[in-house]
Each structure stands twice: as C-alpha cells, then as structure tokens.
C-alpha cells in the first residue's frame, strides 16, 4: 500500500427526498469537508442527453457523453462548459423531469462506470461527505462512516412538496408521492448498484427528526469512527 494519508469519507445513502442532501451539506460545512452530490451527476447526464438528443435508453451514447462532461461545482451552483460560454444549470437539473431522467440513465452499468473516476476525484483533504444511493456500497466502500438515511414515503413526499413550493414551483402532493414511489422502486430493483442499506451502515430514520437532530447523529457516528 502507498504511504499517502487516509482521507476520511462520510457516505450518506438513502431514497429520494429523505433529506440526505441537506444533512450531508450541513455536515460537510461543520467539518470543513468537501461535498459530493452524486445524484447531480446523473441529473446532468439526463439534461445534457436531452439537449444532445441522446435517448435516455441509449447506454453507449450516454456513457461516452458522461466521460466527456465539462462541469464544475461551485458551492451550490453547477456550471456546464467554461469561460464565457459556461452556463449555470443548477436549476435546470432540479426539475421533476430531470429527477425522472436521472433515475432512468442511472440504470445503465456503463453510465455508472463512466462517472466513477469523477466521483473519486472529490475525495480530497481534509475529507469528503458524499450523498447518493451507492456511496457506501460501490463508490466509497472503505468510507469511515456509512449512514443510510431514510423516512417514510409520505414524509418524504411532503418534504419534496415544501421544497418545490418554496422555490415557487407548482406542485401536487399526490403526484409527488406517486413519482417518488416509482423512482424508489426503480432505484431498488435495478441490477447494478441498487438502492440498499450497506450491511455495515447505520440506519438513520428521520421521519420524526429535525434536520439538526439528523446532523448531530451523523456527526456523532463520525466522531466514533474517527476515535477508533
Ligand atoms: O434529490 P433526490 O434524492 O430525489 O435525487 P438525487 O439524489 O438527485 O438522485 C436522482 C436519481 O439519480 C436517483 O433517483 C437515482 O436513480 C440516481 N442516483 C443513483 O443512481 N446513484 C447515486 N449515487 C445517486 C443518484
């Protein structure tokens, strides 16, 4: 083994709208760690595919495009391209249409493989908080702290509803619940990197927890793993 320093990773996986993104970001801020929103990568692939008229079922073309993505994360913003021609796509990837697209392109093994190096490149000192579906199982199996963060489908639908309304988007709670359940099923049933709790991950059920309580719980687990 090489002598380089171990860079700690906190892997937070869980279903849609469980609040893992919010919790992961706050945990990263508190610790001064970097943050990887891996779902954003699948959303970007879906968006760029749509613009380049690549079918979401065309595994080969999607994977080739994913390998060449020219993107930058800057705080909460996502930029496509660079220089004067760059475009802020942060809002364009967050639509319900791209939520669906992300989960459709994410079923392809070649697309997932194409995004692996990019995800690993986020692991930089002093540490990384990574959120997604397969952070603990596939992308960072040696993560120091593994959390499976979830909540009931009803609670998650309500959280997503409030999030959309607060951004001034039109939303319908029943449609959101239905979409979310369809996406959960697709994420759990796919053959590559399905959504599942890693056997060595801590389960964090947040239906009755505030964001702050969830953040505290993740930090406590991480302190414990770092003390070992
Ligand atoms: O915000 P939300 O949890 O609804 O979605 P997201 O985390 O942005 O992920 C969007 C979609 O990308 C998910 O439904 C998954 O199908 C896919 N995804 C994945 O397959 N693997 C990941 N590590 C992250 C997301």
DSSP three-state, residue 84 = helix
pLDDT for res 194 = 84
Using CA atoms, how far apart are residues 209 and 212, in angstroms rounded to an integer? 8
Task: Decide if 1 is inside a domain.
Answer: no
pLDDT, tens digit, 9 for 90 and up, residues 170-218: 889 999 999 899 888 888 888 888 888 999 999 999 999 999 999 999 9
pLDDT of 2 above 80? no
43 Cα: distance to centroid of ligand 1 (angstroms) = 8
Peptide bond before residue 126 is cis, with ω within 30 degrees of 0: yes
86 Cα: distance to centroid of ligand 1 (angstroms) = 24
pLDDT of 4 above 80? no
Work out how many domains the chain is built from and give that number.
1
Task: Find the domain containing 132 and state its range.
Answer: 8-219
Task: Decide if 42 is inside a domain.
Answer: yes
The CATH number that applies at residue 204 is 3.40.50.300
Residues in the chain: 228
- In the chain the first and final C-alpha atoms are separated, in Å, by 20
102 Cα: distance to centroid of ligand 1 (angstroms) = 6
Task: Decide if 3 is inside a domain.
Answer: no
State the average pLDDT over residues 25-39: 97
Task: Decide if 225 is inside a domain.
Answer: no
pLDDT, tens digit, 9 for 90 and up, residues 105-115: 999 999 999 99
- Closest residue CA from atom 9 of ligand 1: 39
What pTM, to 2 d.p., does this model score? 0.92
Distances (CA, A) of 48 to 42, 107, 146, 224: 10, 17, 31, 41
Q: What percent of the chain has pLDDT over 70?
A: 98
Residue corresponding to tokens 């959960």: 184
pLDDT interval class at 3 (50, 70, 90):
low
Using CA atoms, how far apart are residues 123 and 11, in angstroms rounded to an integer? 11
pLDDT for res 85 = 87
State the average pLDDT over residues 61-78: 94
Task: Decide if 2 is inside a domain.
Answer: no
DSSP three-state, residue 27 = helix
Task: Decide if 133 is inside a domain.
Answer: yes
pLDDT, tens digit, 9 for 90 and up, residues 89-140: 999 999 889 989 998 999 999 999 999 999 999 999 999 999 999 999 999 9
pLDDT interval class at 168 (50, 70, 90):
confident
Task: For residue 38, list its beta bridge partners.
Answer: none
DSSP three-state, residue 79 = strand
Using CA atoms, how far apart are residues 165 and 19, in angstroms rounded to an integer? 16
Which residues does ligand 1 sit against, CB inside 6 Å? 16-17, 21, 38-40, 42-43, 99, 102-103, 106, 132-134, 183, 187
Tokens of 34: 């970097």
36 Cα: distance to centroid of ligand 1 (angstroms) = 12
């Amino acid at each position: 083994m090489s002598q380089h320093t171990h860079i700690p990773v906190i892997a937070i996986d869980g279903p849609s709208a469980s609040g893992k993104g919010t919790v992961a970001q706050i945990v990263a801020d508190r610790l001064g760690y970097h943050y990887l929103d891996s779902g954003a990568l699948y959303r970007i692939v879906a968006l760029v595919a749509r613009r380049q008229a690549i079918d979401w079922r065309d595994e080969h073309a999607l994977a080739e495009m994913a390998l060449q993505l020219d993107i930058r994360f800057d705080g909460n913003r996502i930029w496509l391209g660079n220089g004067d021609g760059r475009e802020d796509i942060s809002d364009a990837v967050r639509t319900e249409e791209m939520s669906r697209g992300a989960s459709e392109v994410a079923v392809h093994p070649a697309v997932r493989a194409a995004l692996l190096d990019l995800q690993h490149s986020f692991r930089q000192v002093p540490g990384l908080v990574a959120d997604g579906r397969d952070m603990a199982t596939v992308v960072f199996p040696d993560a120091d702290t593994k959390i499976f963060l979830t909540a009931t489908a009803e609670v998650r639908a309500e959280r997503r509803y409030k999030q959309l309304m607060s951004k001034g988007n039109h939303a319908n709670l029943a449609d959101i619940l239905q979409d979310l359940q369809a996406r959960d099923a697709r994420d759990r049933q796919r053959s590559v990197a399905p959504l599942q709790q890693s056997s060595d991950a801590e389960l964090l059920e947040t239906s009755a927890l505030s964001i702050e309580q969830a953040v505290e719980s993740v930090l406590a687990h991480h302190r414990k793993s770092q003390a070992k």
